[in-house]
Homo-oligomer: A and B are copies of this chain.
Amino acid sequence: MESFQSYINLNRERFIAELQDFCRQPSIAAQNVGMREMAKKVMERLERLGASARLIEVQNGAPVVYGEIGSGARTLMIYNHYDVQPPEPLDEWTSPPWDAAIRGGKLFARGVADNKANLLCRIQAMEAYRVAIGELPVKIKFVLEGEEEIGSIHLPQFVAENRALLADADGCLWEAGYKDINDRPVLACGLKGIVYVELHARGAQRDLHSSQAAIVENPAWRLTWALATLKNADDHITIDDYQLHVRAPTQAEMDALKTIPYDEAKIKQNLGIKSFIGKRNGIDLLKKFLYEPTCTICGLYSGYIGEGSKTVMPNHAFAKIDFRLVPNLAPDLVLDLLKKHLARRGFDDIEVVLTETGEETARSPLDSAIVRAAIDAARAVYRKEPVVYPTMAGSGPMYPLCQALGIPAVSAGVGWHDSRAHAPDESVRIADYFEGMEFVKELMERFAKN
């Protein structure tokens, strides 16, 4: 233990420099920027660790960086992603998103929390283990993909083509985790599903002077009216038959909520909001957060959005919407219900474009070996009782990569409660980053034994 820590301390500056180097390479899957450069950088880092590493291509997709190292009876899959969200809006960043600037003990960069720090922390922890202690106690299989932020659109194909490589894993350490607002480590054993669509309304063949709006249909209005039928002001999704497919949480799932601390006052203060939706609190709030589906306008555009006034009638309007899913709401079903709902109301002129293939909901058993190992490791390293979420509110490809192959997964990582994934000023705290290396060591050792 001491030599493991000593090695990390001795290499602290290099480790941070490597993280900055990762963060300074843009790798925006949605815009196809820097993907191959980043994949190569990750593969080379695995090679420097001593792993056998290669890029596994999937047709039309960003390559998966696959690597193996270590030995032992048990096989641990490590899932991370090297792609990041787009950095916009740029003017809301305190320092530029690709600068990887360090301020007040934090490193700020697009993608540092989601997911480059987690990815690199695990590799560096294994380097320290190998030098300071010896061969890794489990067989490691790295699956480091490049399309998580665009819905892992080719990952099911990758799994289908490489099933033999993956299926013998006994557990998976999923991509990320964080400390909550009271600095308790958060582990998660499932993810919501997701479908991301664009709705496009179109009008005349060009923008018109707005005086024409008296007699020519305005697509911005049609989009508004269509959207207003999808969810009501109580935040209740009103798509026809939608609620029929929402599986209510089981008693065990409801009981699990009772162990989750959620400091509502601190969180509201941090977000700058007076109350949560519908003034919910307690178990009711957590139930909505974790077990209910969402329908979220992520983007909205039509016409003139510059300074001042322009009296134009737009000929195009669109919304970007993500649906977070719970068990029984499969992506295809949601898409089908949405299209039928719109058509039934005369909105069949509104085009529904699926921008990602969608992801199924996944939940791992809370008593599986990998979950128990993670809980024990977190207790040992962080000296606080970990918070175990039966599912996160977010999404990811846990279903095709793990659940469909019978591999339980647990998510843990080096974020903090204000890491701002997907938003400006994304960050990780340097201290959490190095503490995370200990967690990786403890997890490997415990998972090897139990």
Contacts and interface: CB of A to CB of B under 8 A. Distances in A.
Contact of A421 (B209, B213, B288, B296): B209
Contacts of A280: 215
Given A206-B424, A211-B324, A299 B299 contact: no
Contact of A304 (B216, B299, B393): B299
A416 B242 CA distance: 51
Interface residues of A, number: 91
A297 B220 contact: yes
Contacts of A296: 210, 213, 218, 221, 311, 313
A308 interface: yes
**Can you tell how many copies of this chain the complex includes?**
2
A131 interface: no
Given A205-B271, A208-B423, A309 B216 contact: no
A194 B31 CA distance: 41
Most buried by B among A204, A213, A215, A310: A215
Contacts of A261: none
A169 to B, nearest CB: 26
Contacts of A299: 220, 302-305, 310, 312, 314
Most buried by B among A196, A212, A231, A393: A212
A209 B289 contact: no
Interface of A: 29-31, 85-86, 88-89, 92, 149-151, 192, 194, 196, 203-218, 220-225, 227-228, 231-233, 235, 271-273, 276-277, 280, 285, 288-290, 292, 294, 296-314, 317-318, 320, 322, 324, 346, 355-356, 392-395, 420-425
21 contacts: A30-B307, A30-B310, A31-B308, A88-B306, A89-B207, A205-B272, A206-B423, A209-B394, A210-B296, A213-B324, A224-B227, A224-B300, A225-B232, A296-B311, A298-B303, A298-B312, A298-B313, A300-B302, A308-B355, A309-B356, A311-B422
